[in-house]
Structure 1
Amino acid sequence: MSNQVYIFDTTLRDGEQVPGCQLTCDEKVEIAIALEALGVDVIEAGFPVSSPGDFRAVQEVSKVVQKPIICALTRANTQDIDAAVEALRYAKRPRIHTGVGASDVHIRHKFKSSRAEILELGVAAVRYAKRFVEDVEFYAEDAGRADWDFLAKMITAVIDAGATVVNIPDTTGYCLPEDYGAMIHHLKTQVPNIDRAIISVHCHNDLGMATANTIAGIQNGARQVEATINGIGERAGNASLEEVAMILKTHQKLKVHTRIHTPYLNPISQLVSERMRMPVQANKAIVGKNAFAHSSGIHQDGVLKNRENYEIIAPEEVGVASSAIILTARSGKHALRHHLERLGYACTAEKLQDLYQAFLQMADRRKDISDQDLQVLMRQCG
């Protein structure tokens, strides 16, 4: 089994489905160029049949991106696939991403159909797409709630029809990591032609488990990850690209790697946040403004002595200039001395003790202490 995990970024498609955060065509192209520099393997640029704007965005991204595969989403019908083919006309490495519901919930209530009819629909869509492009990805929507044996039958059939990648989405974010991993293992062992396709994982975050489920999928044989910058996406979002990339880089025992250039993670996070007008939560793993910030005296003392006491990732690895020692009423004398020395002040141990008591009174009033506050403190305390 390959130890390369391919990163399929769907920020421009699934990520852009966040209400009120739509991107212009030019913004999509700008982000696509940044994604190429980041090192993603696949960019899902849009859903061409959904609107003229999405169609144009897929076309324009296809024109400027050179290395990554450019992917267009479709439903399992000829009209959607024809639109995708035309939108991908300029792509150097085109991929059509087509599929249909796999769970009985979707089959009965969304499609008002039967398993046999849905299976036939999925196979026909793959065969039709294969007439135009070599690289066809099939998604088994709501696989997380599907019957495993029927899912295995569906995946076997679409691979026989020509699918090169099979996407096993936890569309509703329902699965527990143990169960999702077991489902991927079931497909890996029960689909006889699985060696002819890459298993892809596409996990949503409705219960906060998208990243954990994604890693469980990789541990059980998946070799493509579908994710978004900042974990944005429909409802509670998708698996976070930056979290997955840094988990795989940090945990060498997983024995897999990506092509992601991790120092670009923080800059692209900020770009996506700005263009989508969607702030990143402060405590967001990897790219939140507090991810490398320390305000507790115990933590500050430990980090100042050795960063690895409280940081498992060097901030520079993800494009952050340095750790931040934030002065608050919870800070200790070591942190106060650190900032005073940074500003050019030297203090004896006795003087520091007096300053610290005055500092705590100021911190209780002001919450966060700035360099200007420290200068005022030094003037007041002589």
Structure 2
Amino acid sequence: MDKKIYIFDTTLRDGEQTPGVSLNLQEKLEIAKQLEKLGVDVIEAGFPLASKGDFEAVKAIAKNVKGPVIVGLARTSKKDIDRAWEALKYAEKPRIHTFIATSDLHMEHKLKMEPDEVLNTAVEMVKYAKSLCPSVEFSPEDGTRTRPEFLYKVLEAVIDAGADILNIPDTVGYSTPNEYGAFIKGIKQNVPNIEKAIISVHCHNDLGLAVANSLAAIENGATQVECAINGLGERAGNAALEEIVMAIKTRSDNFNCYTDIVTEQISKTSNLVSHMTGVEIQHNKAIVGANAFAHESGIHQHGVLNCRETYEIMTPESVGLKKNSIVLGKHSGRHAFEERLKELGYANLSMDKINEAFIKFKDLADKKKSVSDEDIEALVIQEAFQIPELFKLEYFQISSGNSTLATSTVKLGFEDKKLEEASLGDGPVDATFKAIEKAIGIDVILKNYFLKAIGSGKDALGEVTLKIEKDNRIYSGKGISTDVIESSAKAFINAINKMHYEMNYDTNELNPVQ
């Protein structure tokens, strides 16, 4: 197996274009550092011209993340390219990724440009990007619906202009595997100078075929795959990184290639991205879903106990999961806790963060008979990557019943003040949210609310993920507690704290589609 497939991660760019997702600088930087540990070859850090926040995030990642190529997206305009280079110039290995639509549909109805204009613009801007940056990637947007003869002409010209990576996007997820594989094969056979460039693919999942299309492209000559953690992205999302990587690893006999991904980091990365974005992972999601290694059927259980291979084609350990998740309790000491953190992949936490997590762990252990790895990881993610707490829940009390109107009283800490309010509501959660809004003096719209149990049993942690809207911006929040009202209140306050934290950034965003 001498064919390496380069993994281009676009979680921080296309993944952030998932409806309802908005990441701040700190969150983007933490995800980028984890992607570095995961072993991705390329990180598309953002679209620098989209907003001040995006620019600062790309710049911070360029300065602080070493190893992977750091990419900034730009339309085929000098303004976009200049802004991208201004952020990327600090990177160890920078790359400008520029794009323009090439399908007749897009050229006529979106760009209002003739094909020759598009071709000349692509060539001119690739040359300009190459004059600034040593590596330039070019994407013909809506590539799979572009007339092949025109696409071949554009690709040949941009290679001559300096593009060293050609990305062929299935922008609207319309292709099928056989069709897309043949499309990539046609490019290899009909672009005379194609050997001077890497063929990359970027598949959307509108028909649920993004991973299958990406793998078909690999079989036909593509050597870079653009994908996102948990399949995040526009509309139905992108090809899921974890599925592509584990398909290549598990079926290496079929694909005859490899990646440099540290697969044992997959589960941790998936959980981190889910936490940061507020997008829950469906239980039956391949590789990283809660049911991916679960067996309900007695026949399946019997088979797996006798021989794992009967119903498991990969091991939980290969993606960073452990078989036995019951570990620590209230009598466990700090040393044992630190050792478990190392085993779970959190060896680089600061002493302050370990101390905070240990205090939370001991509090939880007083409420639960045993604390699972899932519990610990939830605590660590919440504490280690928490934004500054402008508002903090100090106290709450509810009165509720099936024949009474729910009432909630809350007390919040704010700087050196105490904010206390009470409110009625349509249930205890609604009443608590309204009391928090009154205390802070803010009015937001609750867009989404999701409650799940972490672990099992009556004393399982309740994790609440929610999204609020204010001034047409969405903010996500998470909270965990053995009390679901408390976890709901913490999640609501977390989202409000994020809102205040992000108010420092310009939030006018552009949403390029690839």
Instruction: Give me the whole-angstrom Cα distance separating, in 2, the residues matched to 1:53 and 1:271.
Output: 20
Aligned-pair CA distance for 1:148? 1.2
The match for 1:375 is: none
The match for 2:229 is: 229
Instruction: Give me the whole-angstrom Cα distance separating, in 2, the residues matched to 1:124 and 1:309.
Output: 57
Aligned-pair CA distance for 1:150? 1.1
Alignment of 1:39-58 (within 5 A): 39-58=39-58
Instruction: Give me the whole-angstrom Cα distance separating, in 2, the residues matched to 1:33 and 1:172.
Output: 30
Aligned-pair CA distance for 1:121? 0.8
Aligned: 1:122 with 2:116: no
Aligned-pair CA distance for 1:209? 0.2
Percent of aligned pairs with the same residue?
A: 55
Instruction: Give me the whole-angstrom Cα distance separating, in 1, the residues matched to 2:99 and 2:60.
Output: 24
The match for 1:174 is: 174
- Provide the alpha-carbon RMSD of the alignment: 1.6
SS at match of 1:273: helix
Aligned-pair CA distance for 1:323? 8.3
Aligned-pair CA distance for 1:146? 1.0
Q: Is the 8 A contact 1:292 1:323 kept in 2?
A: no
Alignment of 1:1-382 (within 5 A): 3-253=3-253, 254-322=255-323
Q: What TM-score results when the alignment is normalised by the length of structure 1?
A: 0.84
Instruction: Give me the whole-angstrom Cα distance separating, in 2, the residues matched to 1:4 and 1:82.
Output: 32
Aligned-pair CA distance for 1:322? 2.1
Instruction: Give me the whole-angstrom Cα distance separating, in 2, the residues matched to 1:246 and 1:127.
Output: 37
The one-letter amino acid of 1:105's match is L
The match for 1:364 is: none
Cα pair distance change 1:2/1:192, threshold 3 Å: farther
CA shift digits 1:171-212 (9 cap, x unpaired)? 000001100000000001111100000000000000000000
Instruction: Give me the whole-angstrom Cα distance separating, in 2, the residues matched to 1:323 and 1:284.
Output: 21
Instruction: Give me the whole-angstrom Cα distance separating, in 2, the residues matched to 1:158 and 1:370.
Output: 56
Instruction: Give me the whole-angstrom Cα distance separating, in 2, the residues matched to 1:5 and 1:246.
Output: 12
Aligned-pair CA distance for 1:125? 1.0
Aligned-pair CA distance for 1:70? 0.3
Aligned-pair CA distance for 1:371? 7.3
SS at match of 1:49: coil
Higher strand share: 2
SS at match of 1:257: coil
Aligned-pair CA distance for 1:370? 6.5
Instruction: Give me the whole-angstrom Cα distance separating, in 1, the residues matched to 2:99 and 2:18.
Output: 22
The one-letter amino acid of 2:186's match is H
The one-letter amino acid of 1:289's match is A
Q: Is the 8 A contact 1:41 1:69 kept in 2?
A: yes
Moved over 2 A (4+): 369-372
Instruction: Give me the whole-angstrom Cα distance separating, in 1, the residues matched to 2:118 and 2:265.
Output: 42
Instruction: Give me the whole-angstrom Cα distance separating, in 2, the residues matched to 1:306 and 1:209.
Output: 32
Aligned-pair CA distance for 1:89? 2.1
Aligned-pair CA distance for 1:163? 0.2
CA shift digits 1:293-325 (9 cap, x unpaired)? 00011111111111100010111000111289x
CA shift digits 1:257-300 (9 cap, x unpaired)? 10000000000000000000110000000000100000011111
Aligned-pair CA distance for 1:236? 0.2
Higher helix share: 1
Q: Is the 8 A contact 1:293 1:323 kept in 2?
A: no
Q: Is the 8 A contact 1:315 1:323 kept in 2?
A: no
